[in-house]
């Protein structure tokens, strides 16, 4: 398994950040520009990664105020899990975003850079939204 992580401090309470992340409709605001055809509900999002693939992701597990796990709702090109972990920091919070992907050697060479970039971009966009 390959793991891609990014951690950021957010200028909002854990409860506010959790409420935002617990709704898949909000995740479009965290995505990079190469995401198209976004369709979502509170639990599921479907979108295209330009010139790469189409994905449908769902929130499969929530621990209120602490953790959100997102998994594929349909068979993806490789098995993956996306996890948001929240930690309170006085009047702020820490958000850790982890992408775990089961990549063969070829996919690892092709996808490692974009997946790490995605993890970093999502956390940076989250911090920016809550400035």
Question: Where in the sequence is the domain holding 118, given as residue range(s)?
Answer: 2-129
CATH number at residue 37: 3.30.530.20
- At 69-125, the pLDDT tens digits run 999 998 887 899 999 999 999 989 999 999 999 999 988 888 888 889 999 999 999
Q: Which of 86, 67, 76, 130 is nearest to 107 (CA)?
A: 76
How far CA 6 is from CA of 21, 42, 47, 96, in Å, comes to 15, 24, 22, 6
In the chain, what are the helix, strand and coil shares in percent, each to the nearest 5? 30, 45, 25
The string over 51-73, giving b where at least 16 C-beta atoms fall within 10 Å of a residue's C-beta and e elsewhere, is eeeebebbbeeeeeeeebbbebb
Coil, strand or helix at 86 = strand
Instruction: Specify whether the CB–CB gap between 83 and 97 falls below 8 A.
Output: yes
- At 15-60, the pLDDT tens digits run 999 999 999 999 999 998 888 999 999 999 999 887 667 889 999 9
Tokens of 28: 């479009």
Total domains in the chain come to 1
Q: Please state, in angstroms and rounded to a whole number, the distance separating the CA atoms of residues 57 and 112.
A: 19
Predicted TM-score (pTM) of the model is 0.92
């Amino acid at each position: 398994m390959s793991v891609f992580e990014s951690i950021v401090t957010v200028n909002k309470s854990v409860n506010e950040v959790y409420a935002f992340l617990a709704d898949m409709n909000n995740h479009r605001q965290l995505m990079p520009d190469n995401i198209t055809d976004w369709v979502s509900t509170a639990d599921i999002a479907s979108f295209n990664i330009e010139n790469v693939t189409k994905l449908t992701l769902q929130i499969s597990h929530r621990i209120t105020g602490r953790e959100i796990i997102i998994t594929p709702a349909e068979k993806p090109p490789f098995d993956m899990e996306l996890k948001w972990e929240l930690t309170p920091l006085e009047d702020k919070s820490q958000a850790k975003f982890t992408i775990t992907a089961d990549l063969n050697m070829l996919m690892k060479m092709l996808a490692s850079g974009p997946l790490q970039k995605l993890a970093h971009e999502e956390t940076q966009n989250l911090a920016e939204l809550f400035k």
